[in-house]
Chains A and B, each alone.
Chain A
Amino acid sequence: MKMTYREAVRQAMHEALVADPRVFLMGEDVGKYGGSYACSLGFLEEFGPERIRDTPLSELGFVGAGIGAALGGLRPIVEVMTVNFSLLALDQIVNTAATLRHMSGGQFSVPLVVRMATGAGRQLAAQHSHSLENWYAHIPGIKVLAPATVADARGMLAPALADPDPVIIFEHAQLYNLEGEPAEDGHCDIATAALHREGADVSLVTYGGSLPKTLAAAGQLAAEGIAAEVIDLRVLRPLDMATIFHSVRKTHKAVVVDEGWKSGSLAAEVLARLAEECFYELDAPPARVCSAEVPIPYARHLEEAALPQPARIVAAVRRMLGK
């Protein structure tokens, strides 16, 4: 049954709230307003204010409260409006949620799920548009997911809630209107990367909001006779490098498409691991298509110019193949 990404996120949360009384949702505007991306529309009426809680504008406070609830035996879903705002809760996530199992010698676990929107493309300017997934993917002690499809938006929440440790889920703001089919049983794993398209000439590795753009580029390349393989990372920490290595051993060429900035990016991490583990398989210097190293601009044409676009991906592949 076809649905939007937004509907998939809503259904996943609805299913969790129905299935487990320990699950509750908390965040800015999740209740009366129905969520800033309308993912919890109608929940307040259905589940009541105890389980659908509007919070003050204090990420530090409500993410911390979520950690406390998780420690106390609940299964909180904390929604942060955008990754930019989550920086206010970095201390809670990095210093507390990610460390407690380690520091307590395994006595405490923090079964917390934090959902947040990420990425640009909606003219929300530099304080609402950044892609900082790599900040979290850097941290041991948490799992980082980037559902890029309707199926993953529908399927990733349940295993994330079942995980005994903190899981961060990044929903790219450009994807909410995307339409697609969820898996028949609604389930998926949160461990592996996914092959979206097979090809023998080059491996395109991407995640999140860049997946549709990368698939568009692969389609364009196919018209030129270049068979591009497209891999969606899905899980940003821990990275499933085996799938990428397998692909690059076949194609011997890799382009990573990442809406983050090049410097210190996930794309940099993937390239470094290719250099470490796959050096002798490479038939060309691996390449990256990332965002321009500027705060994401407000003006539409500038914003579009700053982000990875299919044309830039196609150009990078052509350059790599000497075409």
Chain B
Amino acid sequence: MIEFKLPSLGADMDEGKLLEWKIRPGDRVSKGQVVAVVDTSKAAVDVEIWSEGTVFELLVESGETIPVGTPMATLLEAGETPQNARHSPHTAAAPQASVAAAASSTPEPAAGVGRRRISPAARKRAEELGVDIETVDGSGPDGAVTLADVEQAAGASRAAAPQAAIDRQAEMRRAIAAAMSRSKREIPHYYLAEPVPMRRATAWLAQANAGRPIAARLLMAVVQLKAVALALKTFPEMNGFFRDGAFQPAAAAHVGVAISLRQGGLVAPAIHDVGEKSLEQLMTELADLVKRARAGTLRSSELADPTITVTNLGEQGVATVYGVIYPPQVALVGFGRIIDQPWVEDGALGVMPIVTTSLAADHRVSDGHRGARFLAELRELLQQPEKL
């Protein structure tokens, strides 16, 4: 018997509210499958599972708020049956949860197979009313979501919505406050900055984009992300977590991208294995990530495992950004705006597009000397954009 527990979706999360199960008892689940939607203070997140098996019991009901680490469901491993499964101590010790699970484990019709049943009219009406159809319970034949269900849900959420929106913003502010206070309280930051010539990178990018349709064009942001990830290979002490008084380097660079949200606040979900992906791939993933961050459909793994964060406030117009590290990460890299500046090259004064790169790093893990060499490596990588 495997227990599926509520994962931490970021250092600032200590509890979550289950919005919806995407699985039912009897479903087979595989690694990486989205099994639940959990509301954190920042967003409704698609939570993935990292075990394989058959869902046996759901221990938590929609609407419950539970602390991180609470068992949410149990899975039967291959070969296990409900009879021969080893019951975990938790199931025995939590009679209340078991009652809820027993109630929800009544056999369901085969409607769980394939796409969820939502009538076309219900889907259209939900769009018109701004109701998230995935959150609407179905009352039609085989659990189909009907027009009446949507209108009922809209009526209910109209009453509750403004309050919820205010709560969400307040919650996000509170979460950012908690994480940043902890960062400044616990992490001895040091800051470095380095102006980096961008003539080659901008020229290369312009050429690379010349043959592409607008939708497929690369942004400088992905060039910078890739350069950061490659620099981390030489400077692993910038990449990982500081936990329980020790640094735990990360094997791969999962780069958190700071994305500001329209309604205020920000999230920094990860693009995974940035060092191993092509610029085209990174561009696709970045576009998708930004879209989903703003739509509020991020996945748990994206929120939980960034190993470093990159912020690109240059897009907002500032020349230099000194970031606050997102614990338990140990570094944050900032990019400012690309600005034409007077620049001496080969003894002659000219005009050069310059970006100011910055590093905020955890002095418990690295020293300014290494930090300086990291920024120098980043500068050199950006001089050879064709190799990225």
A positions within 8 Å CB-CB of B: 252, 279-284, 319-322
Given A252-B147, A283-B146, A283-B147: A319 touches B141 (CB 8 Å cut-off) = yes
Chain A residues with CB under 8 A of B123: 280
**Per a CB cutoff under 8 Å, which of A283, A320, A322 touches B122?**
A283
Question: How big is chain B's contact interface, by range?
Answer: 10 to 19
Q: Are A282 and B140 in contact (CB under 8 A)?
A: no
Shortest Cβ gap from B124 to chain A (Å): 5
A279 to B121: give the CA distance in the assembly, Å.
Answer: 8
Shortest Cβ gap from A189 to chain B (Å): 31
B129-147 interface with A by 8 A CB criterion? 139-141, 144, 146-147
* Closest A residue, CB atoms, query B147: A283
Say if the beta carbon of B88 comes within 8 Å of chain A.
no
Say if the beta carbon of B155 comes within 8 Å of chain A.
no
**Per a CB cutoff under 8 Å, which of B121, B124, B139, B141 touches A320?**
B141
Q: Are B124 and A284 in contact (CB under 8 A)?
A: no
A322 to B140: give the CA distance in the assembly, Å.
Answer: 5
A252 to B144: give the CA distance in the assembly, Å.
Answer: 14
A252 to B124: give the CA distance in the assembly, Å.
Answer: 12
A-B contacts, 9 listed (Cβ < 8 Å): A252-B147, A280-B124, A282-B121, A283-B120, A283-B121, A283-B140, A284-B140, A284-B146, A322-B140
Chain B residues with CB under 8 A of A279: 120
Q: Are B141 and A281 in contact (CB under 8 A)?
A: no
Chain B residues with CB under 8 A of A319: 141
A280 to B146: give the CA distance in the assembly, Å.
Answer: 12
Q: Are A322 and B139 in contact (CB under 8 A)?
A: yes
Please report whether the interface of chain B is mostly helix, strand, loop or mixed according to DSSP: helix
Chain B residues with CB under 8 A of A320: 141
A280 to B144: give the CA distance in the assembly, Å.
Answer: 15
Chain A residues with CB under 8 A of B120: 279-283
Chain A residues with CB under 8 A of B140: 283-284, 322
A282 to B141: give the CA distance in the assembly, Å.
Answer: 14
Say if the beta carbon of B119 comes within 8 Å of chain A.
yes
The A/B interface has a contact count, at CB < 8 Å, of 33
* Closest A residue, CB atoms, query B127: A280
Shortest Cβ gap from A277 to chain B (Å): 12
Shortest Cβ gap from A153 to chain B (Å): 37
Shortest Cβ gap from A199 to chain B (Å): 16
A283 to B121: give the CA distance in the assembly, Å.
Answer: 5
**8 tightest Cβ-Cβ pairs between the two chains A and B:** A283-B121, A322-B141, A283-B119, A283-B147, A280-B124, A280-B120, A252-B121, A322-B140
Interface centre among B121, B123, B146 (most CB of A within 10 A): B121
Interface contacts beyond A283-B122, A320-B141: sample of 17 additional A-B pairs, CB < 8 Å, sorted by A: A280-B120, A280-B124, A281-B120, A281-B121, A281-B124, A282-B119, A283-B119, A283-B140, A283-B147, A284-B119, A284-B140, A284-B141, A284-B146, A319-B141, A322-B139, A322-B140, A322-B141
A322 to B138: give the CA distance in the assembly, Å.
Answer: 11
Q: Are B121 and A280 in contact (CB under 8 A)?
A: yes
Chain B residues with CB under 8 A of A252: 119, 121, 147
A279 to B123: give the CA distance in the assembly, Å.
Answer: 11
* Closest A residue, CB atoms, query B141: A322
Chain A residues with CB under 8 A of B144: 284, 322
A128 to B141: give the CA distance in the assembly, Å.
Answer: 39
Chain B residues with CB under 8 A of A284: 119, 140-141, 144, 146
Chain A residues with CB under 8 A of B146: 283-284
Chain A residues with CB under 8 A of B147: 252, 283
A283 to B147: give the CA distance in the assembly, Å.
Answer: 6
* Closest B residue, CB atoms, query A322: B141
Shortest Cβ gap from A321 to chain B (Å): 8
Chain A residues with CB under 8 A of B119: 252, 282-284
A282 to B123: give the CA distance in the assembly, Å.
Answer: 10
* Closest A residue, CB atoms, query B143: A322
* Closest A residue, CB atoms, query B123: A280
* Closest A residue, CB atoms, query B140: A322
Shortest Cβ gap from B302 to chain A (Å): 33
* Closest B residue, CB atoms, query A248: B121
Shortest Cβ gap from B156 to chain A (Å): 19
A80 to B86: give the CA distance in the assembly, Å.
Answer: 77
* Closest A residue, CB atoms, query B150: A283
Shortest Cβ gap from A178 to chain B (Å): 35
Shortest Cβ gap from A319 to chain B (Å): 6
Interface code B100-127, partner A: CB below 8 Å = 1, 0 otherwise? Answer: 0000000000000000000111111000
Shortest Cβ gap from A56 to chain B (Å): 55
Chain B residues with CB under 8 A of A321: 141
* Closest B residue, CB atoms, query A320: B141
Interface code B312-341, partner A: CB below 8 Å = 1, 0 otherwise? Answer: 000000000000000000000000000000
Chain A residues with CB under 8 A of B121: 252, 280-283
* Closest B residue, CB atoms, query A281: B121
A320 to B119: give the CA distance in the assembly, Å.
Answer: 12
Shortest Cβ gap from A271 to chain B (Å): 14
A280 to B123: give the CA distance in the assembly, Å.
Answer: 8
A280 to B127: give the CA distance in the assembly, Å.
Answer: 12
